[in-house]
Structure 1
Amino acid sequence: MTNGLNINQLKAVETTEGPLLIIAGPGSGKTFTLVERIYYLITEKNVAAENILVATFTEKAAQELMTRVSNRLHEANISFNLNEMYLGTIHSICLRILEKNREFTRLKKNFMLMDQFDQQYFLYQKINEYTRLPNVDLLFDERASRWKKAETLLKWLNKVSEEMLDFDQLKTSKEPQVQVLGFCYELYQQHLEEENALDFSTIQLEAYRLLKEHPQITTQLHENLHYLMIDEFQDTNTIQEEIIFILAGDKQNICVVGDDDQGLYRFRGATIRNILEFPSKFEKGKCKQVELSINYRSHPLIIQFYNQWMEQNKWFYKSKLFRYDKRIEPREGDHPDSRTVIKVSGSDGLGNWEEEVYQFLISMKEKGKLSDWNQVAFLFRSVKNDKVVSLANYLEERNIPVYSPRSNMFFEREEIRLLMGAFMFLFPQFPKVRKWDENAHLDEWEMYDKYLREFADELRKKENHKLLKWCQTRAKIHMNLLQNTDYSFAGLFYQLLQFDLFNRYLEQDLYKVKDSRSVRNLSLFSKLLTKFEYLHRVSVFTPKTINTHLTIFFNQYLRFLINGGLNEYEDESEYAPSGCVSFLTIHQSKGLEFPIVVVDSLNTTPRKQYSDLDEILQENYYRKEPFEPLERTKYYDFWRLYYTAFSRAQNLLVLSCQENTASGQGTRNVPSKPFVGSYSSLKSWNETSSIYNLELENVKDVNIKKEYSFTSHINIFETCALQYKFYKEFEFSPVRQGATLFGTLVHQTIEDVHKTALRGEESKITEENVEDWFNANYNNLVKKERVYLAPQTQKAALNQVLKYVEKQNNWSHIKEAEVDVSLVKDNYILKGTIDLIKGENNTVEIIDFKSEKKPDLFKEANMMYHYKRQLEVYAHLVEERTGQQVSKMHLYYTGEENSNPYVTFPKDTKAIDKTISTFDGIVQRIEEKDFKIKKRPEKHCRNCDMRFYCNEKL
């Protein structure tokens, strides 16, 4: 053993050269092994951080891995540029490669990155162009709503991207269904290019094209990337596997880690063949294989239970095995002599499941077994069905809080119901304008009316008299709008926060997710409003457009969100918030562990997950021959899903259902046939007292290091800690303002100039080219930000850039441009973006551009001190990260016309140390959630959306 590694873990750590497959069973110390492997490469093999790529399945896993590696290096007193490592999801790594080499892609600056809702809404807004294509009704039901058509189309378009299907080949297919898919995809690619947009599938596709079409970029990456580690390899899809092998190059130092038994993401295009066929990608015997099969997580009886579960299924088919043959073993040592797999179920015919669950939880609490409700996690196939929501309500009514962020309950939360009711009240014309014909009816209207009645009941209360008067005045203005307002939906939202009915939610305990859920939901609502205003270019209400915008907002935008379901806030720093039992989907629980796991959804059965078109595409158009037999996939996926669920349990695994053996009309046996063998031998919780002998683990703390920068964090906190609390901690979305567009435009064009110089193309820095770069940046910024500059303001911005270029005699002094620098500190990660110029005697100088006139250095001494500290943070970053000495620090005022545009500060090591110490103190205050302010910073309040709230509360 070395540093607690077992024999196989040590082998996985020290096998660094050539391909390596690590099959890591549940609870086998996979993350620990990965951390030690990275540590070994850095310390024993002297590998630089920038030579290592580590791809994880989620951003959260990447953050946790970054934190654990940095802590491990710190404990060994090793200073290392960990931030240089390519560490993230495959999507984020592809995005990093694209951004660095954007000029070689179809993407322009300021491209728009769409999440799934954005993508579906994007398709919805253009759906008529798709429905005009011949035979498009073969892809979706002609009678389906436009929104449903967009949802179906999204699924097929993503599949084409993820499987890298050739749309020209699809277009010439003899099958009309395949042919129209090819034409839809061609049209979609045109739309993406017109809008300078990317979705999550095309991030990978664009990266793949970049690597295939520009070998010089791939060669450069091969020179940098010597070792690749890919986690959760069983959940990679076709295009991800291709990208990984391209990045690995000839060195083939590629280590993949995963567990084929936990492959859950076929519905997202993942293919289990990637992990099962991995060794065959190399010459025979070249790929080494290590199995991590000792489970450090679970009680032996739990391990025995899920081993037997996997053995029930038939994994051989036509003499081929579709699973690595393995058996998970418990760790050595003493284990409690107790029954650790039980059932908590409602008796057949009694309908008492909810009460049984409640009594079980209370019994464990009263016997002193549970120290925190978060030691219990309920796992379901879906948390959105009525049965699960009913159980959550049943427990919450009996004072057992439930954390269920994906249960589609966002629009049912009190704070959201009241906000929706307020918006209905503020626009009394909506019931009239919402109907586009006499027979029109949407189910959501009943919800809206119900919420309006609830809000009206609140307005009748004496304590809400001020709110009533305000709402009546506003409603009257909106009903007969005569002139433009200076606000839209988001502006109204922030005005509502001044009233007690809403601001009471802003003052709850920040430390507890269950207590801060309301304010988090308000924050999410602010994001929905600003996103709507962005998508529909709404900045104010006008007499001409108010009714149109109301109709689109309520009848389309909110309706789609309500129907599609909206996830509530999920805490990144812990996966089981204190004080709540967790309700999670089995997919959500992957990679997690809980002392008590209650697995429900025992009424489900294996079900087919592919359509006729899937079959046609797989048989005739995929890049590889079919792998798993299609008719068997539903059984494989079903067994893998519940194996993953059962293996989350540390101390106690509970199977739970409302038993039902009455096979009457329309009813189904519960548990269903696949579970009967495993379930039938289990004792009920109230028939075995040995469960009270168990000592339950505490839920582990994820302990993720957060990133902080001077401009995005320290600056805001020092300006106003309350502003930080709402915009950074709770992530409220401010009403969009174009004030920064001018500065961004100047900065981006100067960046174009610098990068041209760094490529040795100084001859291209002409007035004509600068103007072209400027116009391209402006057009792309406008497309993304949906705000504009007046022609004379555009001219002023361009003149600032041209004047800067005119003053430069020689570009050889530019060393690096717009460098993102980060440094792992003890408790956080420090970040900044810097321009570097060469200094004397191999030193560097830092330059920061300000797109304004040079201020009076005496009158604005406070501002100069603030900027000096910002430069000191940058100097600290550069020296710590690169080892280069900083000799001077400059501000360059591009708007200065009459004097020297520079303000120069000498580098003072003591001053830098003091600034960094202050920075550390502010980060500590932020992490302790200390957002108290002594006095309002009045001059900053005018542009802050939270001013209405502060006017009432401060």
Structure 2
Amino acid sequence: MAANTEQQQAVNSLDGPVLIVAGPGSGKTFSLVERTAHLLTSRDVQPERVLVSTFTEKAAKELKTRITDRLQRTSIKVNPLDLTVGTLHSIFIDIIDEFRAFSTIRRNYTILDQFDQQYFIFQRLGEFRAIEGLEAYLRQSATQSSWRTAETLCGYLNKISEEAVTPEALAKATSEELQLLSKAYVCYQELLKQYNYIDFSTIQVEILRLLDLPEVAKQLTSRFDYLMIDEYQDTNTIQEKIVLKLASRHNNICVVGDDDQALYRFRGASIRNILEFPARFPTGACKQIYLTKNYRSHPDIVHFYNDWMGLADWTGAERNYRFPKTIEAAGDDRAERPVVFKVSGQDGQDNWASETVDFLTKLRGDGIIKDWNQVAFLFRSVRNDKVVAFANDLEAAGIPIFAPRSNMYFDREEIRLLIGAYMFLFPQYGQVRVTTPGMNLAVWSYYDSCLGDFIAHLKSGSDDQIAAWLKDKAKAHLTLRENTNYSFAGLFYQLIQFPTFSGFLGEDVAHAGVRDSRPARNLAKFSRLLNKYEYLYNVIVIQPDRLEKDLVTLFNYFFRFLWDGGIEEYEDGAEYAPSGCVSFMTIHQSKGLEFPIVVTNSLDAVPRKQRHALDDLLENEFGEGGPFEPLDRIKTFDFWRLFYTAFSRAQNMLVLGCQENTPKSRGQRNVPSAYFQTTYSPLKPWRELHFDPALVKLAAIKDTQLKQGYSFTSDVLIFEACPQQYRFFKDLEFAPVRTNSMLFGTLVHQTIEDIHNAVLRGEESKVTAEQIDAWFRTNYANISQRKRVYLGEPVLRIARRHVATYVERERNNWHRLREAEVELSLLKEDYVLTGNVDLIQADDGAWEIIDFKTEKKPDLIDDAEKLARYRRQLQIYAHLFEEKRGVRVERMALYYTGEESGNPRINFNRESLDIKGTIDQVDKVIGKIVARDYSLRERPEKLCKNCDFRSFCDMTFCRA
């Protein structure tokens, strides 16, 4: 594809601030890829000095893959993997890790996702309730639950962080509400520090704080020569402050986005960022480029959504609230065929689903739809009861649905059976339900129905093995007198050995599509949820004296909140529209995607307020001279942007669908609502149109072809040891009951890393016994707190001696240190090979890589097999380092910190032929991983002893 005039402008405009306003389907990603390639080929700039941020991890992977593919077609010798490409959050995390010596965030932190954060606050509401007046401010009604109070507080705390307002400034605000929130914010930050947790908002606050430190700011503002920020319309206030500071030395910052697709105000995004970006620089300094030629959609679709945007008034007294632009279709297709029309149920007939089924089966039967994945249904929410019922009607008619965010996780057969099995295993749940205050009747009704389904399953006689086992376990739990040797998660792995559940995990699942592998992945998610619950409540085994309490926290709190709030199912990052099923997704979820047929629903919608009173308070106290948009028009602007995004996803057909309704009584709603009538009413019903298979051609869903990363230690060695373990724990992502935390080794490694980093910073004089002790104690506190695993004093003394012995031996060699904890990657044809080297040394031009082992030096003969694996690991590291640095590694060594008297090293010669053989073998293994060839010739009995799936495999192999 050749760049058009505007795209070429975007590609060539490298210096100074640049704003690229990219309409839908205008080749935005193509332009970013070409711009990056042009930058690396025409300027003497190293790839690591280029930062590119995207909105999602999936988009970052796709962008990096496309850049690497593009650069592979050139003759330049740069590794595109050295580019800093990722979401702003992932980039910020890397910066925090690098500048840990200056950060208030300690090593071994835990990142809280949205649910984790809310649950963390819920568990500690008592500490917030101690702030006089706070709960009264947060409670929106007398009946509001503690969970909802935690949700409200969570949103407020995030908003404060996103607006870059300090607690000191909040405390001095004139508003009493903001003063209250200042106390809550301080309390929350202290709790995060106490538990060594961080959330996504706090990550940004920490980066902004680091940029206020002169010694860090000097390095960071000199780090990147060029910055490109995609989806700029969805950035928030603090993110804008950060990226402008990072670019402040040269202002070589290019922001890309579409103000018409700004959808994330409810997450703190500010439309001001993109609309006022040129004003952040001297007049005329910012170059503005408009990409308005649409290569995605049929001209009629482009005309339709242009007209939609023209219905709203975007003008104001002082400014416009939209960049003036009209999207033009690149194609001139004017063939007579249906493009924009409606598929709806007629008023009073309740036939929306049947009309939709008839429409889709007609197109499928005529061969127009080749794969169900060519169709996407877009909704404001896929968790709406009407949407779920609509999906069920389509599935009942034989049209498969893929809707991972539809809140149907707890309705899946495999999960209902699991919940029923747990209810059966603990007969005392009925007594717990009666005696516990605040029980949620709705969720317990759900539990009862799951138990009923499970009992019916047992009575069917389809799995006599599990029936007998369950009865014995339930009886034991009812009269439990001593601790078991298993936890709730342990029970999970006992349950899945039986055909009731093992049937979902057969070998055929490995090669199934996303939808067919869903039951297996849902079971894996259940294992992770149990793992998270047991971590939150420190459950190690089932204990009689706390069993009832654990049942309450598990079912009436943890599972209840997940059930109530909804939980997403598995999505493949490389396959947004799985073959064999139509997609049900939110409009937000569809952003950046395209489908041959888009059915836009939720036509009963009306503009709704997304702004809270807190937004107004913060704006009045800390805003830039008042609200950017008129408060009474914000909801209308956001409404128009939302459906503009939906309409512009369509390539070949745009369909508007709904169950038409004219209110017959008070309280009913017009469908479509008045806001759609102008666009909806002129559309013809699908039955009045002719769909000629010779004329109606649909595009195929594009293949993203993401290159995945694999490492020798985390992938190759695990697969070689047991392909089935790899399948369960790496591919399906089951959570092991007890992870081997290797606390001793991690503690020694991290303390030695602290020493290396100090030396590399030029602070060798600070490496004293007292400082080493401080690092050692801090690392132990952080690791043990996160892993909830502890070492006795004798073992701690041995670990400390490992470090002391290393320092005593190597202090005189520190002048040879070059890099520590080096992350390496190499682009292969079908994947990315990654690795992490503990230490790089050099002396007189001779490079050496070292891997630390916190054990005694092994016997060269008795442990030959283990040493052979280590040697292969070093060969991979040597190869990666040579490719990245363009140097030759002369020596490879294992360093045993537990060796007290003799030479702690085992050295290996670098042999090119050996390295090539190792790389070839790695290629073969990763080829099997990519092909999901998990066949097992014989069971690795040593690994089986401590594997959570041993009972499953026992039953599987017996049946085989």
Between stretches 623-632 and 403-412, larger displacement belongs to 623-632
Equivalent runs, 1:45-64 vs 2, <5 Å: 45-64=43-62
Matched, 1:269 2:236: no
Deviations 1:530-563 (A, max 9, x none): 0011111111112222222111111111111111
Select the residue among 778, 781, 784 that pairs with 2:783: 781
Q: Tell me the equivalent position of 2:193.
A: 193
Matched, 1:450 2:449: yes
| Separation of aligned partners in 2, 1:281 and 1:773 | 43
Q: Tell me the equivalent position of 1:828.
A: 831
Select the residue among 884, 888, 891 that pairs with 1:888: 891
Between stretches 28-37 and 184-193, larger displacement belongs to 184-193
AA matched with 1:527: R
| Separation of aligned partners in 2, 1:790 and 1:409 | 46
For the Cα contact (< 8 Å) 1:139–1:181, is it kept in 2?
A: no
| Separation of aligned partners in 2, 1:949 and 1:135 | 54
1:951 to 1:846, Cα distance in 2 relative to 1, 3 A: same
User: What SS is found at the alignment partner of 2:523?
Assistant: helix
| Separation of aligned partners in 2, 1:236 and 1:898 | 57
For the Cα contact (< 8 Å) 2:22–2:292, is it kept in 1?
A: yes
Equivalent runs, 1:162-173 vs 2, <5 Å: 162-173=162-173
Equivalent runs, 1:626-637 vs 2, <5 Å: 626-637=627-638
Between stretches 483-492 and 170-179, larger displacement belongs to 170-179
User: What SS is found at the alignment partner of 1:923?
Assistant: helix
Question: Alpha-carbon deviation of 1:296?
Answer: 0.3
For the Cα contact (< 8 Å) 1:165–1:622, is it kept in 2?
A: no
| Separation of aligned partners in 1, 2:704 and 2:334 | 25
For the Cα contact (< 8 Å) 2:439–2:556, is it kept in 1?
A: no
Q: Tell me the equivalent position of 2:179.
A: 179
Question: Alpha-carbon deviation of 1:790?
Answer: 2.4
1:796 to 1:683, Cα distance in 2 relative to 1, 3 A: same
Q: Tell me the equivalent position of 2:542.
A: 541
For the Cα contact (< 8 Å) 2:53–2:229, is it kept in 1?
A: yes
Matched, 1:152 2:122: no
User: What SS is found at the alignment partner of 2:710?
Assistant: strand
Question: Alpha-carbon deviation of 1:384?
Answer: 0.2
Q: Tell me the equivalent position of 1:699.
A: 701
Select the residue among 911, 914, 937 that pairs with 2:914: 911
Q: Tell me the equivalent position of 1:40.
A: 38
Question: Alpha-carbon deviation of 1:335?
Answer: 4.6
Question: Alpha-carbon deviation of 1:40?
Answer: 0.1
Q: Tell me the equivalent position of 1:76.
A: 74
AA matched with 2:148: K
Deviations 1:878-933 (A, max 9, x none): 00011121111111112223432211110111111111111111111111111111
AA matched with 2:138: L
Between stretches 709-718 and 688-697, larger displacement belongs to 688-697
Select the residue among 114, 128, 131 that pairs with 2:129: 131
TM-score by length of 1: 0.98
Question: Alpha-carbon deviation of 1:783?
Answer: 1.3
1:14 to 1:441, Cα distance in 2 relative to 1, 3 A: closer
Deviations 1:211-241 (A, max 9, x none): 11x1222221222211110101111110011
| Separation of aligned partners in 2, 1:75 and 1:406 | 38
AA matched with 1:45: R
AA matched with 1:47: V
Equivalent runs, 1:363-512 vs 2, <5 Å: 363-437=362-436, 442-507=441-506, 508-509=508-509, 510-512=511-513
Q: Tell me the equivalent position of 1:733.
A: 735
| Separation of aligned partners in 2, 1:662 and 1:554 | 41
Q: Tell me the equivalent position of 1:792.
A: 794
Question: Alpha-carbon deviation of 1:392?
Answer: 1.0
Question: Alpha-carbon deviation of 1:319?
Answer: 4.9
User: What SS is found at the alignment partner of 1:257?
Assistant: strand
Select the residue among 811, 814, 819 that pairs with 1:816: 819
Question: Alpha-carbon deviation of 1:498?
Answer: 0.7
AA matched with 2:820: A
Q: Tell me the equivalent position of 2:606.
A: 605
1:611 to 1:439, Cα distance in 2 relative to 1, 3 A: closer
1:440 to 1:297, Cα distance in 2 relative to 1, 3 A: closer
Q: Tell me the equivalent position of 1:753.
A: 755
User: What SS is found at the alignment partner of 1:23?
Assistant: strand
For the Cα contact (< 8 Å) 1:837–1:846, is it kept in 2?
A: yes
For the Cα contact (< 8 Å) 2:817–2:842, is it kept in 1?
A: no
Q: Tell me the equivalent position of 2:564.
A: 563
| Separation of aligned partners in 2, 1:768 and 1:375 | 65
| Separation of aligned partners in 1, 2:426 and 2:797 | 41
1:704 to 1:361, Cα distance in 2 relative to 1, 3 A: same
Select the residue among 1, 5, 8 that pairs with 1:7: 5
| Separation of aligned partners in 2, 1:485 and 1:742 | 27
| Separation of aligned partners in 2, 1:681 and 1:333 | 23
AA matched with 2:211: L
Question: Alpha-carbon deviation of 1:88?
Answer: 0.7
1:434 to 1:741, Cα distance in 2 relative to 1, 3 A: farther
Deviations 1:650-678 (A, max 9, x none): 00000000011234222111100010000
1:13 to 1:441, Cα distance in 2 relative to 1, 3 A: closer
For the Cα contact (< 8 Å) 1:341–1:654, is it kept in 2?
A: yes
Question: Alpha-carbon deviation of 1:851?
Answer: 1.2
For the Cα contact (< 8 Å) 1:139–1:177, is it kept in 2?
A: no
Q: Tell me the equivalent position of 2:297.
A: 298
| Separation of aligned partners in 2, 1:301 and 1:739 | 59
Question: Alpha-carbon deviation of 1:439?
Answer: 8.5
| Separation of aligned partners in 1, 2:334 and 2:702 | 20
| Separation of aligned partners in 2, 1:806 and 1:387 | 71
For the Cα contact (< 8 Å) 1:663–1:669, is it kept in 2?
A: no
- Residue identity over aligned pairs, in percent, reads 50
AA matched with 1:406: R
Q: Tell me the equivalent position of 1:763.
A: 765
Question: Alpha-carbon deviation of 1:295?
Answer: 0.3
| Separation of aligned partners in 2, 1:942 and 1:617 | 58
Moved over 4 A (4+): 437-441
For the Cα contact (< 8 Å) 1:380–1:584, is it kept in 2?
A: yes
User: What SS is found at the alignment partner of 2:341?
Assistant: strand
AA matched with 1:887: E
User: What SS is found at the alignment partner of 1:347?
Assistant: coil
AA matched with 1:857: L
| Separation of aligned partners in 2, 1:48 and 1:132 | 53
Between stretches 650-659 and 244-253, larger displacement belongs to 244-253
Question: Alpha-carbon deviation of 1:814?
Answer: 1.9
AA matched with 2:292: S
User: What SS is found at the alignment partner of 2:463?
Assistant: helix
For the Cα contact (< 8 Å) 2:856–2:897, is it kept in 1?
A: yes
For the Cα contact (< 8 Å) 2:341–2:655, is it kept in 1?
A: yes
User: What SS is found at the alignment partner of 1:515?
Assistant: coil
Equivalent runs, 1:216-365 vs 2, <5 Å: 216-365=215-364
Q: Tell me the equivalent position of 2:574.
A: 573
Question: Alpha-carbon deviation of 1:691?
Answer: 6.2
Question: Alpha-carbon deviation of 1:738?
Answer: 4.4
For the Cα contact (< 8 Å) 1:848–1:890, is it kept in 2?
A: yes
Question: Alpha-carbon deviation of 1:840?
Answer: 4.4
Deviations 1:392-434 (A, max 9, x none): 1111112211000100000000000000011111111121123
User: What SS is found at the alignment partner of 1:342?
Assistant: strand
Question: Alpha-carbon deviation of 1:718?
Answer: 0.6
Which residues of structure 2 form unaligned runs of 5+?
Answer: none
1:170 to 1:222, Cα distance in 2 relative to 1, 3 A: closer
| Separation of aligned partners in 2, 1:847 and 1:441 | 57
For the Cα contact (< 8 Å) 2:819–2:840, is it kept in 1?
A: yes
Deviations 1:228-268 (A, max 9, x none): 10101111110011001000013111111111100000001
AA matched with 2:199: D
| Separation of aligned partners in 1, 2:269 and 2:98 | 27
| Separation of aligned partners in 1, 2:170 and 2:766 | 42
| Separation of aligned partners in 1, 2:735 and 2:206 | 30
Which residues of structure 1 form unaligned runs of 5+?
Answer: none
TM-score by length of 2: 0.97
| Separation of aligned partners in 2, 1:401 and 1:881 | 46
User: What SS is found at the alignment partner of 2:462?
Assistant: helix
| Separation of aligned partners in 2, 1:438 and 1:181 | 30
AA matched with 2:622: Y
